[in-house]
Structure 1
Amino acid sequence: MKTLPQVLAVLTTAVATALASHAVHADVLPASQTQSNWFTAGADAVAAKVAQARNTGTAKNIIFFVGDGMGVSTLTAARIYQGQKANKGGEENRLSFENFPYSALSKTYSVNQQTPDSAPTMTAMITGVKTEDGMLSVSAETIRGNCLSSKGNELKTTLELAEDLGKSTGIISTARITHATPAATYAHSPERNWEADSNLSAEAKANGCHDIAYQLVMDAPGNGLEVALGGGRSYFLPNTVTDGEGAKGRRADGNDLTSAWTEKFSNSAYVWNKTAFDAVDSSSTDHLLGLFEASHMQYEADRADDQGGEPSLAEMTSKAIDVLKKNDKGYFLMVEAGRIDHAHHAGNAARALEDTVALSDAVQAAMDKVDLNDTLIIVSADHSHTFTIAGYPARGNPILGLVHEPEDNQISATPTLADDGMPYTTLGYTNGPGAKNGPREDLSAVNTQDVEFLQQAQVPLSSETHAAEDVAIYAAGPGAWLFQGNVEQNVIFHVMNQAGALGGSKY
């Protein structure tokens, strides 16, 4: 880490540059411009960029955060939501990772679809190769759902490369850890839905394909993952077993993979509730499996009401780093906020924004624990959603509320009306369950800020769809400067590979 004199030197340079920038404009611009807070803040931001030095060192550790379905409109709405919830200005607020020095845009299309799902997008980010929808870390030469066709078409992942180098590895997700995004880091499957052996086709069983949960525990790369935290407990338990929250297992092969985990790995632990999670001693635990729900974990908005209790994404991230950092060779950790996506599919903006803020908190938890001199942190998304921010609401208007335009430098007391004579919300969806056949519902007496409210949509669908526009990438630490401009999504793998010298070369 930088010493205090070094930090002061950098700040002094930045301030001097900023003052010089202001002085340059003093002779050619009016005082009303150069003395504006907007002007000076902008000049300071550029000065900070000028003073910033590229970190060209090797990333001993890599932490990759994925906000599933976290498009740019979600980021904008979430930053406003977070600020307003804290009774601060929303529009000028920043999520933790929006302060990172480098960013880029990522093109998310898959080999066969303009609008992708999470399987090919995470495959691109974690292997460097784009593939077709529904397939995990196998190339597009594979036929979806055909086991035999996947043989020889497996793609090596960042996590597997880290294991090859003797690094520790971990995955975290608020979705099932057998779901597409986390699964692509460690599993190879021509069908993302083969999460338990009971999901396998007859052809898959005949040709020796293993289900995703089995691959995590029994076919794990290297000496096995050191951390796996999230949902999906039923996919690891036999269908003859009922778990601690009353849900039955899904495995037909009789395997209890939670027991297999503790039997296979020394100094290991399996936990399924927050009390047991909190009791885990990171210093003496080398392999930690935590499965906190039979399926997906609770939304952040509902987590406090969970029967067994669940750790937050930030708490899981912090615990994982404590376990992984014991390895002198470093570690790779993937953290997914998986339920942003699910809330958007439900047309439920409030829960999507809560989970996005929870991801921001998790990134901050990581920032509080690591040294950016040797740790690369990347935050991105696999794809976007048909989520929109519309109308002309006044600055400070509740982001989950009805549109109220500015009036006499204040927020108008009455909502803005659409051409049908009814008010509308700032947030909405192009399609989804919030659409109605017939006239729109009058929202005048509806609490649109309630967590259960579903935003109105144009096209009626039982589940809102993904969207195809680019998503953002944010990065800090060694190699972060490689993220610039508009890139193909598979470039993320190559930055991790180069910055961490995972393939034997750096830059």
Structure 2
Amino acid sequence: MAAAMNCKNAVDRPAEYWFQEAQLTLQNALKQEKLNTNVARNLIIFLGDGMSLPTVTAARILKGQNNGQPGEEGFLSWETFPHFGLSKTYNTDAQVPDSAGTATAFLCGAKTKSGVVGLDDNALYGSCATAAGNEVESILKLGRNAGKSVGIVTTARLTHATPSAAYAHTPARGWECDWDVWPPGERDCKDIAVQFLENFDIQVALGGGREKFLKNSQTDPEEGTGERSDNRDLTEEWVAARSQLGTAKYVWEKTGFDAIDPANVDYLLGLFNPSHMEYHTHPDIAGEPTLAEMTQKAIQILQKNPYGFVLLVEAGRIDHSHHSTRAGRALYDTLALDEAVTMAQSETDSQETLTVVTADHSHTMAIAGYPARGNPILGKSGEAGTDQLPYTTLIYANGPGGEETMDSYILLGDRPDVTNVDTAGDSYRQQAIVPKSSETHGGDDVGIWANGPLSHLFHSTHEQHYIMHVMAYAACIDVDKAHCSPKKKFGSVAEMLRDLRFK
């Protein structure tokens, strides 16, 4: 962690500096008057799970401080995108949402209930009988129907709430493998892992969650066993099915991942942990690729399709870090997303690729107190409360940090004294007001940052399900195609045959 900066040397600027900075920003804004109205060949949606606006701000400051700057003046990669809006995140039955209902909104274009995946509001949570007829298709399925290649990259389990909304339809987000479908009377519904195998053709899928694909009699290559009770190894079934369509590979650790040549692989499944992948700052037993590395490999495989691709990339562990009130981990996983977005921008052309960065919901972390400019964002605020004890700049409304605070009150009569505590340490829990075993989501709006064709359609406060409709419209895979250019004319017989291979 960067040490506290000398404010005078680091940040004192005359008025001319700020005038020049504003004029440069103004000139860049004026250049945006010429809008990109191309048809989007490619669509990429980056999802920071739980990436609230305070998370973005704090990660921005941390990024700058890690580079020896005060931090506040910097930008994350997506903050330089030309267009921005806000997303209202509520579920149809909840003021503060969950990740399943929100993922269904931004991927499938319709709001729904908490805990429900790929089904509209007519479905009832946990009721298999209400699923049939209420399915809503994702932007990935629409893209595949249009001949595009599709992929998913996540640091969570591949069967977790956000990625599952890309391919599954289930009234309970927790039904990730057959053993999870409960009570047994609901087992007419296929579990999410089986739906991944069967629902439609996803060419690249990288993340965690091996336990949901392996038999409960199988020893996991890292630790434990699988969880499936139906005697099926879905990794073997996936490779066998996809090998009928092209070259298919399954990998489970970084060495195998690094050996994959995108030019010679058509289908790639990577499951790098029994459950979720590790936090960005944590080592894995067998080694894991970073979010940026997975994003790059996915793009290199998918972009071979002349009709383009649709890719979902989720930084899933931002959310888990916040739930444990460990803000440092959340910020470093946000910086991992920053690296992935930078990677994607270098691998694609913004004239033909619509890139959207957003979050599914917020969290209760706040940036508080009156810390000096350049003060370490993971440090103390520089002042004390009325109890004469210091507190950190980042703090939560509820969560496990509240339990530790409550215990300290019971034992010592005061809040924990963090004077000599390394609050930037990886295991440090920020204090919270309300004690809870897991910090909750927040209900405030989250950001939508966009770059590429028709990105200017994100421009104000939007309902969350609007995101999917903009992406479909931009790629001409929506019902409205009046704005679309004529069908492509083939330049040669060889090009025609190459293109037809993907249809």
Give the TM-score, by structure 1 length: 0.89
Match of 1:421, as an amino acid?
Q
In the aligned structure 1, how far is the partner of 2:163 from the partner of 2:436? 27
1:418 is matched with which residue? Answer: 385
Q: Does 1:429 find its partner at 2:407?
A: no
Following superposition, the deviation at residue 281 of structure 1 comes to: 1.1
Alignment partner of 2:380: what SS? Answer: coil
Structure 1 residue 505: Cα displacement: 2.8
Partner of 1:383: 361
How far apart are residue 165 of structure 1 and its match? 0.7
CA distance in 2 between counterparts of 1:63 and 1:318 reads 12
Of 119, 130, 133, which aligns to 2:111? 130
Alignment RMSD (CA, Å): 1.2
| Shift of residue 504, structure 1, vs aligned partner | 4.6
Q: Deviations over 1:158-192 (max 9, x none)?
A: 11101101110000110001000000011000000
Instruction: Give the alignment partner of residue 141 of structure 2, picking from 151, 160, 163.
Output: 160
What residue number does 2:196 align with?
A: 216
Partners of 1:505 and 1:40 lie apart in 2 by: 44
- Secondary structure, counterpart of 1:431 in structure 2: strand
Question: Where does residue 454 of structure 1 map in the other structure?
Answer: 429
Which residue does 1:47 correspond to in 2?
A: 27
Alpha-carbon separation, structure 1, partners of 2:217 and 2:17: 66
Deviation at 1:150, TM superposition (A): 0.7
2:64 corresponds to which residue? Answer: 83
1:146 matched to 2:127? The reply is yes
Aligned to 1:443: 418
State the alpha-carbon separation in 2 of the partners of residues 283 and 355 from structure 1: 29
The 2-side partners of 1:181 and 1:282 are apart by 25
Percent identity for Structure 1 against Structure 2: 49
Q: Per the alignment, in what secondary structure is the counterpart of residue 434 of structure 1?
A: helix
Alignment of 1:23-102 (within 5 A): 36-52=16-32, 53-102=34-83
2:227 is aligned to 250
DSSP 3-state at the match of 1:62: strand
Deviations 1:432-473 (A, max 9, x none): 111122220111111111111100000000000000000000
Q: 1:498 aligned to 2:473?
A: yes
The residue matched to 1:503 in structure 2 has which SS?
coil
1:251 & 1:34 partners in 2: Cα distance? 65
Could you tell me how far apart the structure 1 residues matched to 2:207 and 2:106 are?
Answer: 20
- Whole-angstrom CA distance in 2 between matches of 1:333 and 1:477: 15
1:418 maps to a residue whose letter is: G
Selected match of 1:241 from 201, 209, 218: 218
Cα distance, 1:127 vs. partner? 1.2
Residue 348 (structure 1) aligns with: 326
**Structure 2 residue runs without a partner (length 5+):** 1-12, 484-503
Describe how 1:180-191 pairs up with structure 2 within 5 A: 180-191=161-172
Moved >4 Å (runs of 4+): none
Deviations 1:101-128 (A, max 9, x none): 0000000001000000000101000111
How far apart, CA to CA, are the structure 1 residues paired with 2:64 and 2:316? 22
- Which secondary structure state, in structure 2, belongs to the residue aligned with residue 103 of structure 1? strand
Q: Distance in 1 between matches of 2:454 and 2:299?
A: 20
Q: Whole-Å Cα distance in 2 between the matches of residues 88 and 421 of structure 1?
A: 30
Aligned-pair CA distance for 1:342 = 0.1
Secondary structure of the equivalent of 2:155?
strand
Structure 1 match to 2:259: 279
Shift in Å at residue 204 of structure 1? 2.4
1:288 is aligned, of 268, 292, 295, to 268
CA distance in structure 2 between the aligned counterparts of 1:146 and 1:35, rounded to whole angstroms: 63
The residue aligned with 1:408 is none
Q: Are the equivalent residues in 2 in contact too, given 1:34–1:40 (CA < 8 A)?
A: no
Partner SS, residue 262 of structure 2: coil
Deviation at 1:345, TM superposition (A): 0.1
The aligned length equals 457
Cα distance in structure 1, aligned partners of 2:471 and 2:224 = 39
- Taking the aligned partners of 1:380 and 1:166, their CA distance within structure 2 comes to 26
Kindly provide the CA deviation profile for residues 5-57 of structure 1, in whole angstroms up to 9, marking residues without a partner as x. xxxxxxxxxxxxxxxxxxxxxxxxxxxx9961111211221221112221011
Residue 179 of structure 2 aligns with an amino acid whose one-letter code is: S
3-state secondary structure, aligned to 2:256: helix
Query: How far has the Cα of 1:327 moved from its partner?
Result: 0.4
- Give the aligned partner of residue 335 of structure 2: 357
Q: Using the alignment, how far apart are the partners of 2:475 and 2:214 within structure 1?
A: 36
1:2-21 matched pairs, under 5 angstroms: none
Aligned to 1:317: 295
Maintained 8 Å contact 2:83/2:450:
yes
For residues 73 and 235 of structure 1, what CA distance do their matches in structure 2 show?
Answer: 33
1:425 and 1:455 in contact (8 A); partners too: yes
CA distance in 2, matches of 1:108, 1:496: 18
Structure 1: how far apart are the matches of 2:320 and 2:62?
Answer: 19
* AA at the equivalent of 1:46: L
**1:83 and 1:91 in contact (8 A); partners too:** yes
**What amino acid sits opposite 2:169 in the alignment?**
H
Contact 2:69 2:374 in 1 (8 A): no
1:308 is aligned to 2:290: no
